[in-house]
Amino acid sequence: MRTCSLIDLGRVPYADALTLQRRLATLRAEGSLGDILLLVEHPPVVTLGRAGQKAHLRCPESILAGLGIEFFEVERGGDITYHGPGQLIGYPILNLTDHGRDVHRYLRRLEEVLTTTLGRFKITAGRSSGRTGVWVGERKIASLGIHIGRWITRHGFALNVDMDLTPFGLIVPCGIQDVAMTSMAQELSRPISMCKVTDTLVECFETEFGVSVLPISLTELMSAEPIHGELGISETAALVGGVQ
C-alpha cells in the first residue's frame, strides 16, 4: 500500500499555506517527496478562483480589510469562497499518475471522502447535479477547488465544521446566487470536535485513495534526505509562522 504523509499545521495564514503548497508540489513533481495531505485552518480570508467573477464579492476589498478578512485571487478552479476558523481545509499534494489521470474522478473522490466523513456523524450529504461540492439537501456544507500541474494536485476542499457562517454573506459563495451555507454544528445543533472530524476524515481519505496516512511534522518532512536543503528548516518555519 502506498503511503501519504499527513501534515496538520493547525491555524496558519492563507499566504503561508499557499507558498508551502507550491513548494511541496514542485518537490512532489521532481520525485523528491511522496504524496502529502496538508490539513489546516485559516484566519478569515476570501479567495477567488480562476473561474470566478470579482462581482461575486459583495463589498469593496476595503470593507473586508476593515473586518480583518484577507482577500486573494488564486489559481485554483472554482469561484469565490470564504475560509475561517472552525473550517477543516485539506490540501492534497498528490501525483495523479499514481491515482489515475482523471481530473473529474479525482474531484468525485474528494467529494466521496467528505460525504463519507459526514455520514459517520449521521449527516446525510451528497452531490448536487451540475454543482461541485457536498450538500445537505439544498445547503452547501463543503466546497472544492483544485489546481493540477504536471499531474500534481494543489488546493483541495473546505469542510464547514463549527464556524461562524456570517461572512459568507459578503460573497456569492461559489458563484451560486442565494445559496444557503451550513456546517456540521448547525446540522447537528451541537458543538463538534475538530479533532474527531479530522481523525474521521483521515480514515475516509485512506480508504478512498488506498493509502496509509502517516502523520509527520513539517520539520521532519523537510529534514529528510534527499530534500534537505531544497527548503531549509529556517525557511520552512518562516513559511508557516514557526509551526513545527
Active site residue 174: yes
Grid coordinates given for 220: 521532519
The whole-angstrom separation of Cα 28 and Cα 25 is: 5
Q: Which ranges constitute the DSSP H helices of the chain?
A: 14-30, 61-66, 103-120, 184-188, 194-209, 218-223, 233-239
**β-strand partners of 35:** 4
Catalytic-role residue among 4, 174, 195, 204: 174
Q: Which DSSP string do the residues of 60-98 spell out, in sequence order?
A: -HHHHHHTT-EEEE-SSSS-EEEE-TTEEEEEEE-BGGG
Which amino acid does the sequence have at 123?
I
Catalytic residues: 174
